[in-house]
Structure 1
Amino acid sequence: MQTITFIGNGNMALSIAKGLKGKYNIEVVGREMEKLDRFESGLESRIDKYLLDGFDITDRTILLCVKPANVEEVGKQLKGKARVLFSVLAGTSLEKLKKHIKSKAVVRAMPNLAASVGASMTTLTGDHRFQREAESLLGAVGDTLWLNSEKEIDIATALAGSGPAYLALVAEALADGAVKQGLKREDAMAAMRGLFNGFGKLIQEVHPALLKDGVMSPGGTTAAGYGALEKGNVRSACMDAIEEAYKRTKEL
């Protein structure tokens, strides 16, 4: 099996590693062996562990999962030149990656936390020579979409990368609404999970507008609830969320 070298051992790295486990040999590089041990425990699989300082990346396939602000510091501690660098750092340009970490090729990837259950929506851009390899690697943890520019991946980061947090807010609010009206908490949570499970399948086949029209009968319950959402400017707030997240991506 091909070996993937993770540099960084945070939540995103662990989520991706869970998806790749069994499909690739995994080695992880970090600052503290104690945290690397916890990473291994969370992965529930033996891995090769290395400390960051002086680590040689020569001819390795690197998956960079550190915080965007730490790219320069991390780059100073690495030796050699990687075969290819796949970066999951939000808002970190190809130019900046090339400046601080030596690699023959660079690809940006933006997965989300659903990678841990093999259901990420990962957007990609960068060196076209590695498009197929990037799609294969990140395809092991869900769907992939290759984009032709860094502007596009930054916008997609605001949608697919940050999206789980937005949907989590909606899910929690809907369940809270049901509890407010008198449904038991455990029943509200079960109903909400069933809703999202079914909706996730429907949205793959049906346009959102058609899905909405199909369930909204004249003067019915859905129309009443939908009107409340429009009154609360939920549509506008969602669009603003993408805009603000995109702006923050550029700032990073």
Structure 2
Amino acid sequence: MEQLLLSVIGGGAMGSALLRRWVAAGVYSPKQMALREVDKDRATALQQELGIRLLADPSEAGEAEILFLAVKPQVFPQVVAEIGQPAATELVISIMAGIPLQQLQQAFPRQKVVRTMPNTPALVGAGITAICYGPGVTPQQRDLVERLFRAVGQVVTVPESQMDAVTALSGSGPGYLAVILEALIDGGVGVGLPRPIATQLAVQTLAGTAALLQQEQLHPALLKDQVTSPGGTTIAGLQVLEQAGVRGALMQAVRAAYERSRQLQGS
């Protein structure tokens, strides 16, 4: 049996997405990865799909070089109690919102710890993950962490003081954009488009705009000016958005999510 290199605790939406991408990208072979998932049906389905190992006992997770925590922050104390002190593990990586490096280090005093915040587009390999490192993480370990998350999208490194802001913007951002898309689709239906066509138009417009901004490295304001002709349709719509305070509402949404993330970290 191959040496166990990565143990994943939690096979929910993000944990399973990461496992699928790592297998597809060949980051590790399936036999080098193991999963601990309390939902037996979900665990069995992932094992059959990916060929990974399943951990019957949580303490077995400590036999891997890397322990990857993909569970809800509320169950973190229970997970720590079940795993115990991992004997072979050198690095602990967390995607749990609101669990600071200090708390991770207290739970795993012999290991190096890393805190990350991926977002849901990682499910299709188009996410972005913010990473902050605990004391003593080596350059080789940093390279490994970034390799893991580059398999599901882009990577940025930030100080831990900015993780609540990351959570508010990129972590919660897909929710804001989904509301905007839903409103655009309903608007299209309201002016006579069939819903499937309105949905296709709105989704591709968002995806294409993001791709254009990224590829051409355009500032959003510049792109807005390029598509806004004097007395045209776009400026008529933009005037309504300004009158409704959409720009300010989005900024306030990020602020509210930021404050809530800070509250959760302190709870």
After TM superposition, the score normalised by the length of structure 1 is 0.92
| 1:6 paired residue number | 8
Can you list the C-alpha shifts for 1:120-158, whole angstroms capped at 9, x where unaligned?
1110001352322211111111100011x2121221111
Question: Structure 1 residues 180 and 89, CA, compared in 2 at 3 Å: closer, same or farther?
Answer: same
Count of equivalent residues? 249
- Local SS of the residue matching 2:59: coil
- Local SS of the residue matching 1:160: helix
Match of 2:80 among 75, 79, 82: 75
| 1:245 paired residue number | 257
Contact 2:8 2:36 in 1 (8 A): yes
Compute the displacement of 1:7 (Å): 0.6
Compute the displacement of 1:60 (Å): 2.2
Query: Are 1:208 and 2:208 matched, yes or no?
Result: no
Query: Are 1:199 and 2:209 matched, yes or no?
Result: yes
**CA RMSD, 1 decimal:** 1.9
Compute the displacement of 1:103 (Å): 4.8
Percent of pairs with identical residues = 34
Structure with greater helix share of residues? 2
Question: Structure 1 residues 48 and 131, CA, compared in 2 at 3 Å: closer, same or farther?
Answer: same
| 1:111 paired residue number | 118
- Local SS of the residue matching 2:11: coil
Partners of 1:167 and 1:131 lie apart in 2 by 31
Contact 1:5 1:28 in 2 (8 A): yes
- Local SS of the residue matching 2:60: coil
Q: Within 5 Å, which residues of 2 pair with 1:116-155?
A: 116-127=123-134, 128-129=137-138, 130-147=141-158, 149-155=159-165
Can you list the C-alpha shifts for 1:188-223, whole angstroms capped at 9, x where unaligned?
011112202211211212111111111111221111
Partners of 1:249 and 1:52 lie apart in 2 by 32
Contact 1:33 1:51 in 2 (8 A): no
Compute the displacement of 1:30 (Å): 2.1
Q: Within 5 Å, which residues of 2 pair with 1:12-51?
A: 12-22=14-24, 23=26, 24-25=28-29, 26-40=33-47, 44-51=49-56
Q: Which moved more, 1:29-38 or 1:102-111?
A: 29-38
Match of 1:161 among 148, 168, 171: 171
Structure 2 unaligned spans of 5+: none
Compute the displacement of 1:4 (Å): 2.4
Question: Structure 1 residues 32 and 184, CA, compared in 2 at 3 Å: closer, same or farther?
Answer: closer
Partners of 2:247 and 2:253 lie apart in 1 by 10
Query: Are 1:95 and 2:122 matched, yes or no?
Result: no
Partners of 1:123 and 1:165 lie apart in 2 by 18
Contact 1:19 1:118 in 2 (8 A): yes
Contact 1:15 1:114 in 2 (8 A): no
Compute the displacement of 1:245 (Å): 1.2
Deviating 4+ runs (over 4 angstroms): none
| 2:184 paired residue number | 174
Q: Which moved more, 1:86-95 or 1:119-128?
A: 119-128
Structure 1 unaligned spans of 5+: none
Partners of 2:50 and 2:228 lie apart in 1 by 48
Q: Which moved more, 1:172-181 or 1:190-199?
A: 190-199
- Local SS of the residue matching 1:239: helix
